[in-house]
Structure 1
């Protein structure tokens, strides 16, 4: 079948598209190659995809209504994996408007395309950031997420609510996936592992927020791809056990809609993460200890029992395996 994957020049999108092509699917990739970070890295990811049979690329911006309508009308995808978004928690303080344009208006255009062309299943990226001020660990889809701490998280929470409305009103099956701190080869240069690696190799200080004491469910990108591809074939339906007087935030009794966490269930302290990286690089980091940044949460920990029940998949690659894979890629790509 034809599957539309948005954000195929991006980190996770390029990996998902590669996997789907390997499974024999026809993939229409959509990306605008924004200059939020190194466009050369995005073009390199895209060049790998263009070499694979079954890939078609559409250069378009999510916020361009006409371009999005045309993409759906021409290619008529059966399923959609929506991964494109303006990422980065801290960049929102500098450019908040682009978050709403891309993540809210752009998502509306995706929903409208799916509705008008009878898409069988929309799978879209959300984030663990929606848990916001929640401190009860591990984070579960059954917990409320009413208090996001950043604009980025608020836009992704809006996506979840918009998707539920479309699922209810139009019967559009929608599944949201809350990603937990994804890392791996071809990652984004603004993410911690990338920044740490570059600084250590250059002999520059590594900025360590919260004095390195917070924990994250660091999740290797292949585990994310397993979850995305696995859930794509699990088209949701209304939950017959749903109770209107005590609604479950992770599912719906009135709509074909589900939310799943995808994250490693074994959180790792940031200082330990840096120690693993130091060992891989054979160099000691110069640490610049800093307080917790506004909007950051002290810890994240994923409960993925719902994902396991739905797909049989649980993220399994730990940092001792995943970080060396990233370092090997980084050294090859940057000849470092």
Structure 2
């Protein structure tokens, strides 16, 4: 078992990473003084893992309840949030009860916001089951959506612990693996050129969480998030660098039928293009070999058209990182050296048109 300790300003907590953790929750939680545990999960995850998690928890003396939501961003709503709060009240859940988020980013965000606000805060355990959640489960960001704007209602609420059973990655389809892998690539670009190169070498033709060495790559990616969160938990400084690719990515995700990671990967390519244009380093970051690799991994590389630009700009103006109508992007001076760049919308529009033309010619 691999153990990392996040020493953030609000709380110190452990990340446990190993195969089969879901079968040993009775041992992992034996020293915790919880009165009961409420599992929040979605229908897909429940089908694969809820019975095994329940069997492990039933070995304890804890009262155990569970609440199942529909999968997808639509569940990060005030309606579902209120339904869960009502359920907690109906089960007489008290302040010593723990909310256990069993699932991916949607489940973690929603369950965390429930835990942060029910009775002004109850214990919270993250148990991610997706590759994408290796990023979202760490750092304490919890939130729900409003009017198709992602994570606009939320808080910083670190978990008591993160339990990452990497066997749960084995049931993910290729699209879900691509979604989470984008965050690993992001971490490589902003903080670790060697990690980025190893990802390219070990995942040259497909994203395979079963091969030897994958868990170590995953752990290195998690360490990058850990180190940044420890320095800036509330996102007042360098934690903003973790938004690399996300400004445009979130806007695409709001209007197109692509996953978070597919949208973010396209956002990463746009940010690399912006970095080259602004810093005069053309073809040093957005390279043909990078695009060929992503195509080999089946990332969609033609997500938007000229007709989408105005809507995308409007979505980006509603982004939490936008200040005084200037949209903020995370750019790179070089790999491992990110910085924040603010831009007015007319410039962004032109850059988007130029980027799409470049990608069209490259993909043509």
Higher RCO by CA contacts (8 Å cutoff, separation 6 or greater): 1
TM-score range, shorter chain: 0.3 to 0.5
Q: What TM-score, normalized by structure 1, do the two folds share? A: 0.34
Q: What TM-score, normalized by structure 2, do the two folds share? A: 0.32
Which structure is larger by alpha-carbon Rg, 1 or 2? 2
